[in-house]
Amino acid sequence: MHDDDTSMQELVRDDSSRKRFLKMMGGTGAAAFSIFVAACGEDEKPKKSGASSSSAAGAGRKRDLEIVQYALTLEHVETDFYDAVIRSGVIKDKALAATAAMIRDNEQEHVDALTAAVKNLGGKPQKPQTSFDSVIKGGAKKVLETAAAVENLGAAAYLGQAARIQSKEILAAALSIHTVEGRHAAALNKAAGKSILPDGAFAKPASMNEVLPQVKPFLKETS
């Protein structure tokens, strides 16, 4: 493995790693892996060696920090959203309210884990200021639709960064959270009367440039 390889790129380039990965995935693994790599984008740039490897590793660590901070921002938005919804009492259905509380607790655990990861990478965790007044004023239907949209967006955001991550530990954490976000999205899609599989058999990734504009309406301007 090259020092500046991402974990996904190692699987692409290293035949032994790829065989182990596909074996774990089962008989349909080859097709799924090919589609995943195509969706996320494989880096075809030649790898540097020698003295430049340490600087490349440093660049990879910096990129991982950027990704983890980005994920932390999204998790704060999700946690704050459910907190605001629960405090407002806008959800009257007891089962749905309980689901909202469970998801809020999951998101808080994600916040805690990602906060620790940012610190471990040498960064300073950032917490955005948020507001969801306009959503809550729209009533329970608006809240439910927004919750589903936010969870689908979160799942797509994690998938969109998978190919860029260098650290295997960070990649494992990101994919673990991605799985939970996908389950949240499926439950809320169903509650909102939408398909639990809006993208079909393979989830679609979303880049930072696609995700952040959709999150911006929930962020307060800071002076």
Q: Per the structure block, which two tokens stand in for 92?
A: 């009257």
What distance in Å separates the CA atoms of residue 42 and residue 49, rounded to the nearest whole number?
19
Domain region containing 185: 60-218
In a domain, 33, yes or no: no
In a domain, 202, yes or no: yes
Question: Which residues make Cβ contacts (< 8 Å) with residue 88, sequence separation at least 6?
Answer: 136
- In CATH, what number is assigned to the domain containing residue 71? 1.20.1260.10
In a domain, 78, yes or no: yes
In a domain, 17, yes or no: no
At 54 the pLDDT is 73
At 116 the pLDDT is 95
Note whether 148 and 188 are within 8 A (CB). yes
In a domain, 26, yes or no: no
In a domain, 21, yes or no: no
HEC readout, the chain = CCCCCCHHHHHHHCHHHHHHHHHHHCCCHHHHHHHHHHHHCCCCCCCCCCCHHHHHHHHHHHHHHHHHHHHHHHHHHHHHHHHHHHHHCCCCCHHHHHHHHHHHHHHHHHHHHHHHHHHHCCCCCCCCCECCHHHHHCCHHHHHHHHHHHHHHHHHHHHHHHHHCCCHHHHHHHHHHHHHHHHHHHHHHHHCCCCCCCCCCCCCCCCHHHHHHHHHHHECCCC
- From first to last of its 223 residues, what are the pLDDT tens digits of the chain? 455 555 555 555 555 554 554 454 444 444 444 544 444 444 444 455 655 667 777 888 999 999 999 999 999 999 999 999 999 999 999 999 999 999 999 999 999 999 999 999 999 999 999 999 999 999 999 999 999 999 999 999 999 999 999 998 899 999 999 999 999 999 999 999 999 999 999 999 999 999 999 999 999 876 5
In a domain, 51, yes or no: no
Q: Per the structure block, which two tokens stand in for 112?
A: 């805690």
In a domain, 43, yes or no: no
Number of domains in the chain: 1
Note whether 206 and 163 are within 8 A (CB). no
> 113 burial class (0-12, 13-18, 19+ CB within 10 angstroms)?
middle
